[in-house]
Amino acid sequence: ALLVVTATTGMGELPDNFVPLYSAIRDQFPAWQGLPGGVIALGDASYGDTFCGGGELVRELYAELGVREVQEMLRLDASETVTPETDAEPWLENFAKALRG
């Protein structure tokens, strides 16, 4: 399974330190058809249309590669939470169950 947890920077871009891995996944591993995956996206809803844009870019990559999302992307809003790790736990539990099921 491929689980990506990413923040969103600037105008909905991926963080600079994630771009090389993103590019490697896109360019070097194109045969991931049917691989189960999930995305946890961190962002700030006050940015409007670009909220969790980094996660949306990963979802687009999944679609290009044929990665099958086993559940809807989790969007964590920095303006509403100070404990994203704790807030993600129920989603992660469901993700693990979906992988086993």
Residue 33: give the domain boundaries. 2-100
Q: pTM of the prediction?
A: 0.90
d(Cα 1, Cα 6) in Å, to the nearest integer? 16
Q: Is 80 helix (H, G, I), strand (E, B) or coil?
A: coil
Overall domain count for the chain = 1
Q: Specify the CATH number for the domain of residue 20.
A: 3.40.50.360
pLDDT in single tens digits along all 101 residues of the chain = 999 999 999 899 999 999 999 998 888 776 678 899 999 999 999 999 999 999 999 999 999 999 999 999 999 999 998 899 999 999 999 999 999 98
DSSP 5-70: EE--BTTTBPPTTTHHHHHHHHHH----TT-EEEEEEEE-GGGGGGTTHHHHHHHHHHHHHT-EES
